[in-house]
Amino acid sequence: MKKWSVSGATILTSGKIIDKGSILIGNNKIEKISKKELSGSVSIDIDNGILVPGLINSHDHLLGTYFPKVGKGPYENWLPWDNDLKSAPVYQERQQIENRDLYLLGGYRNLVSGVTTVSDHIPHFVGDPFYDILPMKAIKDFALAHSVGSFALAWGDGIEAEYQKALREDIPFITHISEGFDDETVNNIKTIDKLGAVGSHSVFIHGIAFSESDIDLIKERGASVVWCGDSNWFMFRETTNIKMLLDKGVNVCIGTDSPMSGGENLLYEMKFDKELYEEIYGEELPDETIFRMVTENPARAFRLSRNGHIK
């Protein structure tokens, strides 16, 4: 079996920085990281370079890869934005492009920003035919709902059934939640909790209207939250209470959403979110925290990690 070694670069991990370290790769997995030089049958030297793990984009809609952004907020919830989107000329133009090509555009948009794994939030019958042609990995095993409420799109088999599927198959249950400020949306966590779908398999996207009691429940049950700061700010001029989520120890990830409303790619999103955090709270969000939100935190949220390895 051929083994690869990469030496000479600064290696970034969630726990430490290794200057001029080495990585040994075998069977398409990292076998060892060391300060000492490692040798493989093929050796690559990267002088003064930086090596990071493949990044994970925790929320995207790969079919929505087009520019510019659409809409003029702030909106009360996602639905009036969606109405503006569907009536926009750029949306009509996008409808002329084959889904296969849109998926490839979405894949390369992620790959050029260092993303090797993406969560494409879409019903399986839409995305599954295209995941194997992408230049990076899309998460295939997940249960889902579009959102929580009376005007949610009919994705999946219903929140209760989808969450039970997540438990049976040990896969994530993914949904938009609390994305807005109308009475129904503000109470999304209470609604989904009554349906039995707040737990360690839950991955909640946006959460703009989360209250402190909502966040306490999320932490208590071990659910994860995906922060999409650029999309939130564009659509609502608000974002989730990210400081409270982090201070309470919730497992928080970063996602771009689609460029219809959100970041162009994950590197842009990381920079935007850091600046937004400082603008809101008057303090810096540590780079180490951001790094974990695009690596180990989503690996945990999407149940990708098994015995320290990515599935």
Per-residue pLDDT of 84-143, as tens digits, reads: 999 999 899 888 999 999 999 999 999 999 999 999 999 999 999 999 999 999 999 999
Higher pLDDT, 278 or 43: 278
Pairing of strands 224-227, 251-254: parallel
Tens digit of each residue's pLDDT (9 = 90 or more) over 200-246: 999 999 999 999 999 999 999 999 999 999 999 999 999 999 999 99
Mark whether 47 and 62 lie in a shared domain. Answer: no
Mark whether 95 and 21 lie in a shared domain. Answer: no
CA–CA gap between residue 85 and residue 251 (Å, rounded): 31
Mark whether 146 and 21 lie in a shared domain. Answer: no
Work out the percent of the chain whose per-residue pLDDT is above 70. 98
263 in Cβ contact with 272 (< 8 Å): yes
42 in Cβ contact with 4 (< 8 Å): yes
Q: Which residue matches tokens 């994950």?
A: 266
CATH code of 40's domain: 2.30.40.10
Number of structural domains (the chain) is: 2
Mark whether 80 and 137 lie in a shared domain. Answer: yes
Of 13-17, 40-44, 154-158, 304-308, the range with the lowest mean pLDDT is 304-308
Query: What pLDDT score does 308 carry?
Result: 38
Higher pLDDT, 64 or 177: 177
Residues contacting residue 36 through CB under 8 Å, at least 6 positions apart: 22
CATH code of 175's domain: 3.20.20.140
Of 52-61, 285-294, 301-310, the range with the lowest mean pLDDT is 301-310
Q: What are phi and psi of 50, to 5 degrees?
A: -130, 130
Q: How sure is the predictor about 307, in pLDDT bands with cuts at 50, 70 and 90?
A: very low
Mark whether 38 and 128 lie in a shared domain. Answer: no
Residues contacting residue 77 through CB under 8 Å, at least 6 positions apart: 151, 179, 180, 181, 182, 185
252 in Cβ contact with 293 (< 8 Å): yes
CA–CA gap between residue 202 and residue 91 (Å, rounded): 31
Query: What pLDDT score does 46 carry?
Result: 85
Mark whether 87 and 36 lie in a shared domain. Answer: no
Mark whether 145 and 229 lie in a shared domain. Answer: yes
Question: Within 13 Å, how many C-alpha atoms sit on residue 198's CB side?
Answer: 18
| 3-state DSSP percent of the chain in helix, strand and coil, to 5 | 35, 25, 40
Mark whether 8 and 79 lie in a shared domain. Answer: no
Mark whether 182 and 124 lie in a shared domain. Answer: yes
* Average pLDDT for 260-274: 95
Q: What is the pTM of this model?
A: 0.93
Mark whether 172 and 62 lie in a shared domain. Answer: yes
* Average pLDDT for 10-18: 82
Tens digit of each residue's pLDDT (9 = 90 or more) over 50-81: 888 899 999 999 999 888 899 998 999 999 99
Q: What are phi and psi of 101, to 5 degrees?
A: -70, -35
Q: How sure is the predictor about 306, in pLDDT bands with cuts at 50, 70 and 90?
A: low
Domain boundary among the residues 31, 51, 71 is at 51
Mark whether 34 and 100 lie in a shared domain. Answer: no
Mark whether 100 and 222 lie in a shared domain. Answer: yes
Beta bridge partners of 202: 173
Query: What pLDDT score does 310 carry?
Result: 44
Query: What pLDDT score does 292 carry?
Result: 96
CA–CA gap between residue 155 and residue 171 (Å, rounded): 17
Which range of residues forms the domain containing residue 59? Answer: 55-310
- List Cβ<8 Å contacts ≥24 apart for 18-22: 21/51
- Give the residue from 66, 61, 67 showing the smallest Cα distance to 257: 61
Of 50-64, 194-208, 252-266, 295-309, the range with the lowest mean pLDDT is 295-309
Distances (CA, A) of 294 to 90, 119, 124: 30, 12, 24
